[in-house]
Amino acid sequence: MSSPLRLGIAGLGTVGIGVVKILQTHADLIETRVGRRIEIAAVSANSRSKKRGADISAYGWEDDPVELGRRDDIDVVLELMGGENGAAKALVETALKRGKDVVTANKALLAHHGNDLAALADANGRVLRFEAAVAGGIPVIKALTEGLAGNAVKRVMGVMNGTCNYILTRMEATGQGYNVLFDECARLGYLEADPNLDVGGIDAGHKLSLLSAIAFGTRVDFDAVVLQGIQSISLDDIRLARDMGYSIKLLGVAQMTGRGLEQRMTPCLVPETHPLGQLDGGTNMVVIEGDSVGQIVLRGAGAGEGPTASAVMGDVMDIARGFRLPVFGQPAATLAAAAPAVVSAGAPWYLRMTLLDKPGALAKIATALGESGISIDRMRQYSHEGADAPVLIVTHKASSDDITEALARFAGTGVLVGEPVALRIEEV
């Protein structure tokens, strides 16, 4: 009979205690499925006495989580603390060097140090698994590294931050503005300690950089991800997009082009008839396009105790079965250093702005667009009171460089009130 696989869990927050509950509830089922007992040997957290909804008294305890990586009675370390540096990084490095496999839910750690950690895992013959770090309970890492491994991936895109999707869809459903719903998310505990990680697109950008590395065989390059949050999206944008048959999403897109690897996490308009446009609440969705399989859509809970702990256990069970795979699907030494590229393909753009209500103001904007090589598809000027006139313009296909040039020209017209909003209309 195989010896038990012994776990050390660092972090007993939402995800860590979720793993404890799964193992306490389904120990026999898991053993039947993998042919080996999986047991918790020791744990570490900030407080030993805190009430957590699960009994941890039978497990060993370490005040210092890094010590889990040094214990002889642990085979696999689960790093579920979070943080891109500090104890999380030290624990993963220590565990790999001491010959232990690692499972983590820490996308920030991997987005910033994934290349070095992948090389360290390879050098020590260990595996570092991270299904729970991207899109919660959705098995997107397994889809890319296993089920779709025979495809040349053309594009990966998706909604990867449930908080942003919750805010945007609640704006549409309730007619409440961004600030009201931001405060609601804070009360419900949906926001990170630093809210900009969510609403600024950083959390989702971390995830996109990891998917890019797997999909295109490249080194992780989070610094090359173009980031734009949802803070500038107004209720007017939500309503106007809906009137045109679109929904606004914080959309991640990664694709390899002739210029290099394009990675962007920005608000976009997508057709409301597409699964991405219909995605409600805190749900995540990842779309993978392969040359053989076509378009695959994966949808599910992107966060929470159960879904994320489920993803962690999937990785642990693979290790228990003896399934071993390089961190990003191929040896770290073979990952290419891709040149970063800005989006080159043209697309229609949604432009919303407020102009001074005086003769010739709109003509100046149209001239600025023409001088930037951009033609207008549709334009609406809305009824208003006072000296400011709201205007909506939808362009024909234009590059992001042309739009940037046009926005700079707008600033010099002297007719603009406040900052314009420019959103790409994504072809999905």
Catalytic residues: 207
Token pair, residue 372, equals: 């930037």
Q: Is 422 exposed, middle or buried (0-12, 13-18, 19+ CB in 10 A)?
A: buried
Query: Which is it for strands 283-290 and 294-301: parallel, antiparallel or unpaired?
Result: antiparallel
Identify which of 281, 283, 245 has the alpha carbon closest to the alpha carbon of residue 168.
281
> How many residues can be counted in the chain?
428
DSSP-derived letter for residue 358 is: S
Q: Are 300 and 307 in contact, with CB atoms under 8 Å apart?
A: yes
Angle at 339 between CA 334 and CA 340, to 5 degrees: 125
Nearest to 178 by CA among 229, 242, 235: 235
CA-derived radius of gyration, the chain? 24
CA separation for the pair 390, 396 (Å, rounded)? 20
Quote the CA–CA distance of 308 and 359 in Å, as a whole number.
Answer: 57
Contact 313, 9 (CB under 8 A): no
Token pair listed for 303: 């966060």
The runs of H, that is alpha helices, within 301-382 are 305-321, 361-371
CB atoms under 10 Å from CB of 167, counted, come to 27
- Rounded to 5°, the CA angle 140-144-148 comes to 125
> Residue 383: what residue type?
S
60 phi and psi angles, rounded to 5 deg: -65, 160
Residues whose CB is less than 8 angstroms from the CB of residue 428 and which lie 6 or more positions away in sequence, other chains included: 157, 270, 271, 274, 276, 277, 287
